[in-house]
Amino acid sequence: MNILLISTYELGRQPFGLASPAAQLHAEGHKVRCLDLSVERLDDDAVGEAGLIAFYLPMHTATRIALPVIDRVRARNTRAHVCGYGLYAPISAEVLQERGVASIFGGEFEPGLRALARHLDAAGHGRTNDAELGRVGQSGARSRGDAGIGGTAPRPENAPPHVSWQRQQFAVPRRTGLPPLTAYARLVGTDGARRTVGYTETSRGCKHLCRHCPVVPVYQGRFRVVQSEVVAADVDQQVAAGAQHITFGDPDFFNGPRHAIEVVRALHARHPHLSYDVTIKVEHLLRHAELLPVLRHTGCAFVTSAIEAVDDAILAKLAKGHTRANFERVVTLCADAGLALQPTFVAFNPWISLAGYRELLATLARLDLIDNVPSIQLAIRLLIPGGSRLLELADVRELVGPFDPAVLGYRWRHPDARVDALQRDIEALVSRAGEDADRRALFERAWERAHAAEDGPRLELPDVAPGRARATVPYLTEPWYC
């Protein structure tokens, strides 16, 4: 049957979430077309020919962009079975179903997509009873992940609706037909040169239960590995296609440290000039500090870590598992290992004050991290999606309004309206400047605005190391955010 897989946005990466299921569906004899709408247009002919149209929804922004596209696709092809899969599909299930999405797969989605394709193929490529097909992925045993579809891939009884934690044998991602790697974000190295970036994953899910993280409602403390030989083959084919750097998109690269180190050692042996970047939480950077020199030796250009806050009370609210002191220790460990640390933050949240925001900026300056922090991180506002563990907190429940389908989350206002006004001001400042703008100059403007937001004595920006050239800290031209 004709299957169309659609991605709307994934942070300037060639989507693993298209290439992985495409390989498995193609192996079963289906004709698979992939479209990445972040860099190409929707093909109405491809939409019209498809019996199954599946939207990859790995993040909040991608899902919001997808909603009007779903409407357009359903209007163009009323016979196709429309599916949503990826991290935000189960989180947004009710909204998606109201838009006519008939099946939803979260967690390990590939087996469910295969089973659904078999079911539709047997039923005549989605042209039979729409009501029957609409029940697949919505209600009863057939609604939950890949459970019950075609009699395969049972879903554990304690898994959330629409979610599978099934262990699977991955296939080498099929990247045929995807836009070239040069269409995506680049790495700007320490010499200022731009390098072509590939993207792959060595694991999914996470062992931890941070309250604000969208991985948690889906995986609930579990993670699944992609077999090392599959990762190696995927890196090989991307290097052959021109990749000079690889982003590993795991929520936490050190959920399985032995697996991760095996992967990067093998990568470095085969491609000694290839660099890469990873995401690792503070807790794991401390626990596995002896592995940091291994990362550096095998080509790690930088480590992203979700610091989120420098206030221990806020970190406790978020259940981050680290403290401000831990963060500062990690800064030292990474510097000693020769690794660039790229911290990320939820700078604006219900518990931060204007003074607290100024303290965040002062801490970054004191630790000489101004050039390491993507400017957008100075403006990030806490997102509370469906299923968020933040709703366990009484003060959050009192703060939020009802779930808003328009924003795919719960709206909230800061108790101090000046904090919300400052967030909007900083976000506009960063958005106008663009990611290639001078981070130090933007930081100084954010510092000025943070002090202008509240009457009182003005603090001077702490002394920092002499200004460095922007490119001495490696960075991707499209930064990480939710």
Q: Which of 105, 129, 162 is the last residue of a domain?
A: 162
445, exposed or middle or buried, with CB in 10 Å at 0-12, 13-18, 19+? Answer: middle
CA gap 160, 168 in Å, rounded? 18
Residues 150 and 226 in one domain: no
**SS3 at position 320:** coil
Question: Residue 256 is part of a domain; what is its CATH number?
Answer: 3.80.30.20
**Total number of domains in the chain:** 2
Domain span holding position 424: 184-476
DSSP sequence for 161-216: TTEE-----PPPP--TTSPPGGGS-EEE-TTS-EEEEEEE-SEEE-S---TT-THH
Residues 307 and 251 in one domain: yes
Contacts 24+ apart (CB under 8 A), 30-34: 30/1, 30/2, 30/3, 30/117, 30/121, 31/1, 31/2, 31/3, 32/3, 32/4, 32/5, 32/174, 33/2, 33/3, 33/4, 33/5, 33/177, 34/4, 34/5, 34/6, 34/7, 34/177, 34/178
- How far, in Å, are 56, 112, 139, 219, 456 from residue 148 at the CA level? 21, 9, 11, 20, 63
pLDDT of residue 464: 57
Residues 152 and 209 in one domain: no
Residue 101 has φ and ψ, to the nearest 5°, of -75, 120
Residues 254 and 155 in one domain: no
What are the pLDDT digits (tens) for 159-177?
788 999 999 999 999 999 9
Residues 195 and 153 in one domain: no
6 belongs to a structural domain: yes
Mean local confidence (pLDDT), 409-430: 96
pLDDT of residue 463: 67
Q: How many CB atoms lie within 10 A of CB 465?
A: 9
What are the pLDDT digits (tens) for 330-359?
999 999 999 999 999 999 999 999 999 999
**pTM of the predicted model, to two decimals?**
0.92
Residue among 32, 81, 21 nearest 57 (CA):
21
Question: Do the beta carbons of residue 35 and residue 6 sit within 8 Å?
Answer: yes
pLDDT of residue 161: 87
Instruction: Say which residue the tokens 């429940």 belong to.
Output: 397
